[in-house]
Amino acid sequence: MMQEDYGPDVMEGDDEDGRFFGGGISKEESEILDYMDTQEEELVPEKIDSAWLRRTALNFEKRITKNAELRAKFENDPQKFMGSEADLDADIKALSILSEHPELYVEFAKLGSVSSLVGLLAHENTDIAIGAMEIISELTDDDVAAEEDQWSALVDAMVEADLLDLLVSNFGRLDESNESDRSGVYHALSVLENLISRQALAVKIGQDTSVLQWLLNRIQKKESTSQNKQYAAEILAILLQSSPVNVKKLSSLNGIDILLQLIASYRKRDPLKGSDEEEYAENLFDSITCVVDEPESKQNFVEAEGVELCLIMLKEGKMSKPRALRLLDHALSGYAGAEVCERLVEAAGLKTVFGMFMKKQDGETTEHLLGMFSSLLRLLPANSAPRIRTLAKFVEKDYEKLDKLVKLRRDYAARVASVDREIRKEQTGLDAEEKEEKADEWLSRRLDGGLYCLQTIDVILAWLVAEDDGASKRIQALLADHDESLVTVKQTLQEQLDSMDGDSEEERMTRDMLIVLIQFLT
């Protein structure tokens, strides 16, 4: 039987044709492999350092200059300068690697290349401008591991080079029906998002550019909710949350009316879960909620029938219901909320909100309802019809609202006491400095445990004790059922008073209120 061949015989040297050259490869193949080894040695990754940056910056400037010269020389013959444009585009994209080396940001700015990169946002070819925006977005992204001084050096140089106005001008010239331009708008919005992480820039963008107006126009655009429409709503919400002056600017642009009209479409209709539209709607509610926090905006909210819209949502909405409740809570709050409180009563809102209170609710809904009750009792004028109607709601149906308030108080007090016990254990063995370092963390945990709701309930109970003898007797009886008294409520208010150290008008008025209420509990 013939023996099986399990592989080629080992041969030394090469045969007469020179086919094999050691190890079973030909001489030609060996030469190819040697060449490849040489090439690999030559392809050692280039070191990204200052020397590399200077070479790259010099080449980048040459590309820009060459492209500008060819464009000027062959203005009517694009074929003559398109090659230089492709080279410039490649060089722009190559700058992406800088995001991995933020230690070079300061030098990049000093070399003047940042200014040149920003200047490309004004390039006649929008593809070049879009490419520059994309790189600027990458370099300024929060994910870049840049130190504060490195990021600031880069961004300051960009702003100095007129980045903000150039972004705005691109919003005006890009056509979102074109996919490439649509991408450009997205990158421009991304740059804005990166910049407004610094509050001073958020204020500058809101005050010194037309960005707020553009964002308002963009979120109103009649279209199915696109990624850019959602992103514009998100940037608007961030800008408003960044500074009260941006809220004032928005109000001057009829922003409250516009935002209310936009959220009105969600009175009964819910956006598709997980969609861009759902996030868009969330951002609209965040924006209008931020706006009504400002005293100057509350009257505009009332005049635009914002209270009535929220009440409709509380009755008929689904997704909009909890957001409308949060919006009302913010609109009623603060020393300037009296007009909103009166409109709520006049619009027959008491029945709606007290009806919600008597049903089983989640923690966030309960928190907002308690906040609204506290605002109504604090702000409605004494002996006014709206105040009398509000007090009547608390005492009707044999004080059932008070029963629930005291029960809720007991629940929140137990939760806060549990957190306090944990904190006391942690405080053991700590010196004063260590306790001071953890004070904010401990306060946050107490608030998470229900401290805010406990304090708010006790403010409500104190007002009712002060205003109505029948309510006072019922509250004291309910507290006595668990060996408590008005002193228990007083202690909560005193702790709240002692913790206040701010000097704003809102805080001064809150302190004055607490001092008066504590006297009624003595």
* Residue 33 within any structural domain of the chain: no
Examine the pLDDT at 483 and tell me if it is beyond 80: yes
Output the pLDDT for position 16.
44
Give the pLDDT confidence of 210-240 residue by residue, as tens digits.
999 999 999 999 988 899 999 999 999 999 9
Answer whether residue 35 is part of any domain.
no
* Residue 295 domain-assigned (yes or no): yes
Residue 373 reports pLDDT greater than 60 = yes
Q: What is the CATH number of the domain that holds 285?
A: 1.25.10.10
**Tell me, what's the pLDDT at 420?**
92
Domain termination site, one of 181, 197, 213? 197
Q: Which range (82-86, 396-400, 464-468, 477-481) has the least confidence?
A: 82-86
Q: Is 37 exposed, middle or buried (0-12, 13-18, 19+ CB in 10 A)?
A: exposed
pLDDT range class, residue 28, cuts 50, 70, 90: low
One domain for residues 362 and 314: yes
- Predicted pLDDT of residue 3: 43
Task: Please tell me whether residues 153 and 211 are part of one structural domain.
Answer: no
217/292 same-domain check = yes
The pLDDT assigned to 43 comes to 54
Higher pLDDT, 502 or 283: 283
**pLDDT grade for 32, boundaries at 50, 70 and 90:** low
Question: What's the distance, CA 304 to chain centroid?
Answer: 26
pLDDT at 341 > cutoff 50: yes
Note whether 426 and 375 are same-domain residues: no
> What's the confidence (pLDDT) of residue 14?
44
Q: Any idea what the CATH number is for the domain that residue 69 is in?
A: 1.25.10
Residue 122 has pLDDT above 90, yes or no: yes
Q: Is the pLDDT of residue 131 over 90?
A: yes
Closest by CA position to 194, among listed 233, 160, 122, 144: 144
Structural domain of 119: 49-197
Residue 247 shares a structural domain with residue 365: yes
Residue 14 lies in a domain: no
The average pLDDT across 307-326 equals 96
Residue whose token pair is 């958020």: 202
pLDDT at 68 over 50: yes
Please check whether residues 167 and 219 belong to one and the same domain: no
State pLDDT tens for residues 416-455. 999 999 999 998 988 889 898 999 999 999 999 999 999 9
Cα 133 off chain centre by: 22
Q: Are residues 335 and 369 in the same domain?
A: yes
Q: In which band, very low, low, confident or very high, does the pLDDT at 22 lie, cut at 50, 70 and 90?
A: very low
Q: How many structural domains does the chain have?
A: 3
Residues 184 and 221 in one domain: no
Mean pLDDT of 346-366: 96
- Verify that 168 and 228 share a domain, yes or no: no
Nearest Cα to Cα of residue 285 among 242, 215, 237, 336: 237
Please report how many Cα atoms fall inside a 13 Å half-sphere around the Cα of residue 149, on the Cβ side. Answer: 4
Asked whether the predicted pLDDT for residue 5 surpasses 60, the reply is: no
Q: Looking at the predicted structure, is the pLDDT value of residue 24 above 60?
A: no
Please identify, among 138, 169, 197, the residue that sits at the C-terminal boundary of a domain: 197
Q: pLDDT, tens digit, for every residue of 381-411?
A: 999 999 999 999 999 999 999 999 999 999 9
Distance CA(44)–CA(510), nearest Å, equals 68
Domain edge (last residue) among 395, 419, 447: 395
Range scoring the smallest mean pLDDT among 37-46, 53-62, 92-101, 226-235? 37-46
